[in-house]
Amino acid sequence: MKFAHWLTGTVFGASMLLAGAPAHAVTIGFSQVGDEGDWRPAFSKDMQDEAKKEGIDLKFADAQGKEEEQLKAVRAFIAQKVDAIIIAPVVVTGWEQVLREAKRAGIPVFLADRDVDVTDKSLTVTRISADFNLEGRLAGAWLAQASKGQCNVVELQGTVGAAPAIERKKGFEAITSQFPEIKIVKSQSGDFTTEGGKKVMEAFIKSTDNLKGICGVFAHNDNMQLGAIQAMKEAGLNPGKDFLLVSVDYVPAMKDELAKGEASASVELRSAIGKYIYPVVLNYLKDKKELPRWIKIPSDLHHAAAPND
């Protein structure tokens, strides 16, 4: 083991000389879930780009959707003595052990995206993520304004029990309940998928006699809304012209629909969020000031070029 110590010392010295990099650069480990869908790879890329801009030495680990890989990555960060760890958790459970190891090593942990289920809340500094509830409220507020407070709405819910579905619904209803003439007349789950949204909309079209008396469609995500637009067009209806369509995510396909005027509005779930996350982490490393449990990333709403009325 003497040899190892000697080698460690030499290697460390040599690497310092060779690298010549500023030794004071902040090193942050970021453990990402994986690269599924459109949103997550964009999020990963933004984190890497923003780290470069901020001069952060980012250690990025892709867990490939596996909890055990994520635990390995966080332990590797701890062994590397990084200055801070950011985790976008694969699952909410199973974090207590490794977070305690990070705490023992004196490394602050920040959460992005999902929350974790731990009994000791002091194990993480804060969570920096979008607020699903606010997204729902923005969608509701836009619809209330566009319909001047008079609208029968059909709702395409996300996967039953999923946090974004629950919170977006709550937020939407919190606003629309202020307007007695806005009513959600039908509500069903389309599982966040395009096919799901299409099927649910087909059923709505049948059960309401071609959406008679309906003025608005609220979908918990863009994919379902895209399916609903297909179903409406197949039934000979004019989405975006005769109906107000509002959803959440602002994916590229929805941008096209908004440009064509076949959808009305979409609340953006930002993927370029490195600029919200890093300053929080860097400031905390400087002043160690206690932060609120949850720092919300603001949402934005995009609507069609010429909103109909």
Partner 1 sequence: MSEKYLPLMATIAVFVILFIAGGLLYPNFFSTLVLGNILGDNAFIIIAAIGTTFVIISGGIDLSIGSMIGFVGVVMANLDSAGWHPLASAALMIVFGAGYGTLVGFIIDFCEIQPFIITLAGLFLLRGMCFMINLDAVPIKNPFVLEFSDMGIPLFGGGWLSSSAIVMLVALVVAVIIAHWTEFGSAVYAIGGDAQSAKLMGVPMRKTTLKIYALSGTYSALGGVVYALYTSSGYPLAGSGLELVAIASVVLGGTLLTGGVGFVAGTVFGGMILGLIATLINFNGSLNGAWIMISGGLLLFIFIVMHRFLVGSLKFRAGS
Of 278, 271, 280, give the one whose Cα is nearest residue 299.
271
63 binds partner 1 (CB under 8 A): yes
Q: For the sheet containing 182-189, what is the strand order?
A: 182-189, 151-157, 216-219, 244-249, 265-268, 300-303
Give, in degrees to the nearest 5, the angle at Cα 130 between 37 and 284. 115
Out of 26, 58, 265, 267, the only residue in the binding site for partner 1 (CB under 8 A) is 58
149 binds partner 1 (CB under 8 A): no
Report the first-to-last Cα separation within the chain, whole angstroms. 76
Rg (the chain; Cα; Å): 23
Out of 21, 25, 92, 259, the only residue in the binding site for partner 1 (CB under 8 A) is 92
64 binds partner 1 (CB under 8 A): yes
* Min CB(277)–partner 1 separation in Å: 17
Q: Which stretch binds partner 1 (CB under 8 A): 56-64, 190-198, 227-235, 287-295?
A: 56-64
259 binds partner 1 (CB under 8 A): no
Q: Taken in order 247, 154, 206, 235, is the CA torsion positive or negative?
A: negative
Size of the site for partner 1 (CB under 8 A): 39
* Min CB(65)–partner 1 separation in Å: 8
Out of 36, 117, 290, 300, the only residue in the binding site for partner 1 (CB under 8 A) is 117
Out of 46, 49, 54, 91, the only residue in the binding site for partner 1 (CB under 8 A) is 91
12 binds partner 1 (CB under 8 A): yes
Q: Is 80 exposed, middle or buried (0-12, 13-18, 19+ CB in 10 A)?
A: exposed
- Could you tell me if 235 and 263 are in contact, meaning their C-beta atoms sit under 8 angstroms apart? no
Chain positions contacting partner 1, by CB under 8 A: 1, 4-5, 7-8, 11-12, 15, 29, 34, 57-64, 67-69, 71-73, 75-81, 91-94, 96-97, 117, 161
